[in-house]
Structure 1
Amino acid sequence: MIPEPIFKIEGAVQHYDWGGHHFIPSLMGIANERQQPFAESWYGGHSMHPSLLVDKQGRKWPLSELIKNNPVAYLGDSTEKQFPFLLKLLDVKNMLSIQAHPNKTQAQKGFSKENELHIPFNASNRNYKDANHKPEMMVALSDFWLLHGFKNESDLMATLRSHTELDEFVQHFQAGGYQQLLHYLMNLPMVAVEDILKPILPRLPRVDKNHYGYWMNNTSSSLRRHLPARGHVTQLPLWTKYRADGQQR
């Protein structure tokens, strides 16, 4: 086991398709000879993707193993059972998925239920990899735009009413609020999504990054070989937010 009190750490790299090819490899001092996307580098004791600790001789151990063998020494008495903290370094080259995180109670129930159903952790229909909620803080290392949180009712209604093609969206929002609207959006047939978006996209701004229209058109360009996805229309009820270098969310 590594005796040093301070360790060199190597992140666990995730090669998601939306990642860049240069920033993370450059930071880690490695060559990306295969030109893989380096989307995320994880620093923590995640059970499936732990960071590696490196000693002076170049030997490596998973951080999770070090903690497991001596949790009190490395985490302290108050958190020795579990310290659910994970630092992620992201290089976002292309648009990525919208995420909805559970609260603590939902996470505990969902994790227990999926364990009872014996759903494998790597299964595509596995939603809960652990029993933790996911409070997050993001610090921008460069200019960054993100979709975060729902527009208030008046702003969302104004967005929907600005396009006659979205009249049914207005009806669902008036009838059942955000929940019914999102349920309707996520269950729209792909053909219906295409019919709705075809006349709308050309009318939307293509320059202003603070306007949802820019990002809907950007999504359309990145998916130009495919039918319009539901991800286009789910951008409508969300706020577009800008974070400059060093700003937190």
Structure 2
Amino acid sequence: MREFNTIECTVAENVAVITINRSKFLNALNTEVLTELSEAIDLIDKDSTVRAVIVTGAGEKAFVAGADISEMQNKDVLEAREFSSLGNKIFSKLENLKKPVIAAVNGFALGGGCELAMACDIRIAGNRAKFGQPEVGLGIMAGFGGSQRLARLVGAGIAKEILFTGEIINAERAYEIGLVNRIVDTSEVLEEANKLAKTIASKSPLGVCFSKKAVNEGINLDLERALSLEAELFGTLFSTKDQSEGMSAFLEKREPSFKGE
């Protein structure tokens, strides 16, 4: 992976790790960070060796503490709309990446940081992590998908409470409402995420990819059409080498060797 100014992107053992690296500013998102994040996603998408992705923040204080207020403060209506659209476009690109993405939340995940975590498939939180959408306290609202993904993850009622009050919640509350998948000690967040990523990476890349597609697309369909989508994807996998290898390995009582083909 090439070098970036505001993020780091590394690949090892089929797992890519994207680290937002602006710890001096609590990893706040500005245009440069968003642009480099988009470029890193594109590189990962094209890298056939990558089977799982971790997104995290540098340092122990913050995953991402939000969007960069100093950059946003003097934007006019059109500029603010374009900034929101940029964030939404890049977070949707991450959400729709064919490879699974795990957020390793090691501190504050507020505003754009919470929205970035929600664009990932799975969220692992440190026990000192904090989540929230405090934008109403700044005279604005969530602008990088928070009003939409939060409601889909935790339900409209709880989402509205968080969005309307700007309340910051702890890791335990985030787990209770279904915003995070699991909580570990802060020092173990990246290790836990890497362990989970390697487990996923050992499975059929196509099976994982199609499972992600089924959930992401099916959740917005009525049940009948969603089941039809599942059947179509399920059937398509029977034309792949991964299916043949996986079932042969099972019957032969050995570990499968998946190639993503």
Sort the TM-score into its range (normalised by shorter chain).
under 0.3
Task: Name the one with the larger helix percent.
Answer: 2
Give the TM-score normalised by structure 1.
0.27
Give the TM-score normalised by structure 2.
0.26
From the CA coordinates, give the structure whose radius of gyration is larger: 1
